[in-house]
Structure 1
Amino acid sequence: MRPTLPLTLLALSLAACTHAPQRSDGPAASVPTTQEVIDASTPADWRPLDPENTVYLQLPSGMVVMELAPAFAPEHVANIRTLVKGRYFDGLSVNRSQDNFVVQWGDPAGDELALRRPLGEAKASLPAEFSRDADGLSFRALPDPDGWAPEAGFVDGFAAARDPKAGKAWLAHCYGTIGAGRAMAPDSSNGSELYVVTGQSPRQLDLNITTVGRVVVGMERLSVLPRGTGPLGFYTEAAQRVPILAARMASEMPPEQRARLEVMRTDTATWDAYVESRRNRSDEWYVHPAGHVDVCNLSVPVRPATAERGAD
């Protein structure tokens, strides 16, 4: 019998989410700190998580909340929704933890096709979704150059990159980015094998693999897992694997059982102020403002939902 999802979703450690880093640009007196930016924000500067794009992954250590990105990988996201609703991930495991790279989960049977869990109503084959048309995206470019793309910035809270001449955009491989594992063929992923970046941003993976979302809360439950001793950090013994107790879409849960979270919008003047607070730290500890920020050094603030609006 497969395990069910615990009802106490709010056992999330949100205190760390409430306080984002500080900001500074130019003289310390002229640039607010990050906390000052957050304190001055209004409800309109925040958005709730969409239950249709939010996945709760229950591990023995607690909950991981993930936000899917259908704007960048619509077919993979649709397949992941189907897999989650079909209880595909329940009882599977985290099978890989490679130091300074990724944590990966899915069916431990791996390449043994005869032993793999059936996908149910999900599709076994999908096209590669490495990038998308840049038109129609609310792309908020950062002011600083990016070594991996002509432009880097954010789209609806997701770290992204863009090539205006080629007319395409894609999600950037930053800490917390979730991707769909694949074999040699570019179209060999289907969302049944997922990984999350837990180390230094491996931007060389950009445009080489389908990225499907990001971890919003609970990265500490993945990044601290013991490193695998096998090739590429795979666990060599079944006892080393971390069981997935359950995976659920937030939309499957009653509203009162959903994690009440909201994320700072990345298309507002408040977000621009937040970016500047990270480019030039003005809090007392800093003696030298950097005047630069990398897309993977910007964590989008997350906090408990305000009482007026709630999470949904």
Structure 2
Amino acid sequence: MNRRTLLGAAAAVAASPALAVVAASPVLAQQQPALDPENTLILELPGGRVTIQLLPDLAPRHVERVKVLARRGFYDNTPFHRVIEGFMAQGGDPTGTGTRGSDLPDLPAEFTPPSRARFIRGTVGAARTQNPNSANSQFFIMFAPAPSLDGQYTIWGRVVSGMDAVDKIKRGAPGSGTVTNPDRIRTARIAADNR
């Protein structure tokens, strides 16, 4: 499996003045009266709890994969191996190399038109190789808007609380984002499982 990176997109984002503008998104900007526990992922990070609303209406296969892996305990103790200041934090590879995924097959892309959802602060997307149909277990959480990713990567969730904990994730080396002694996900669980 090839290294799963977003470095090319990071360079485009770094050069983009759009970082200062938070784009409105019909799906991601909606206020939800209550979260569906079956479609809520809870990450316990060193900096605190992060609650992610899963979006099966945008990416049903990816949401199902995240739920299966969280219920297996796959994400527990996995590192945020690539973290780029002003861009994103990437995790979901148990080896911490950015080259591995789960034992399940890769997923076909579920790209969302930018008119429905955009990569803004708090968006959670599926990491992949150059092959659009290579997403597996790795994901990334946006620190800032990245319009260059819209329609190019699958969006499967959005942070609804705990962005302060995401902001505390240890940053990687300038350019590559590779993190030495990275922060790890302590636990990842589906809210419905703790009733």
Q: Same fold (TM over 0.5)?
A: yes
Amino acid at match of 2:157: G
- The corresponding residue for 1:127 is 108
Amino acid at match of 1:60: P
Distance in 2 of aligned mates of 1:171 and 1:74: 15
Q: Give the drift of 1:181.
A: 0.4
Are 1:242 and 2:186 matched, yes or no? no
- Quick one: which of 161, 173, 186 aligns to 1:229? 173
- The corresponding residue for 2:86 is 100
Q: Which runs of 5+ in 2 are unaligned?
A: 1-30
Distance in 1 of aligned mates of 2:121 and 2:97: 27
- Quick one: which of 117, 120, 123 aligns to 1:177? 123
Residue 81 of structure 2 contacts residue 98 of structure 2 at CA under 8 Å; is this kept in 1?
A: no
- The corresponding residue for 1:70 is 56
Distance in 1 of aligned mates of 2:75 and 2:111: 24
Aligned length: 163
Residue 94 of structure 1 aligns to a residue whose secondary structure is: coil
- The corresponding residue for 1:210 is 154
Root mean square deviation of aligned Cα: 1.8
Residue 48 of structure 1 aligns to a residue whose secondary structure is: coil
Distance in 2 of aligned mates of 1:46 and 1:86: 28
Q: Rg bigger for which structure? A: 1
Distance in 2 of aligned mates of 1:50 and 1:64: 15
Give the percent of matched residue pairs that are identical in Structure 1 and Structure 2: 34
Residue 67 of structure 2 contacts residue 190 of structure 2 at CA under 8 Å; is this kept in 1?
A: yes
Q: Which runs of 5+ in 1 are unaligned?
A: 1-44, 133-160, 163-169, 255-312
For normalisation by structure 2, the TM-score amounts to 0.78
Residue 88 of structure 1 aligns to a residue whose secondary structure is: coil
Deviations 1:175-200 (A, max 9, x none): 1000000100010112x11101102x
Q: Which runs of 4+ in 1 moved over 3 A?
A: none
Residue 103 of structure 1 contacts residue 223 of structure 1 at CA under 8 Å; is this kept in 2?
A: no
Distance in 1 of aligned mates of 2:166 and 2:176: 16
Residue 80 of structure 2 aligns to a residue whose secondary structure is: strand
Residue 84 of structure 1 contacts residue 247 of structure 1 at CA under 8 Å; is this kept in 2?
A: yes
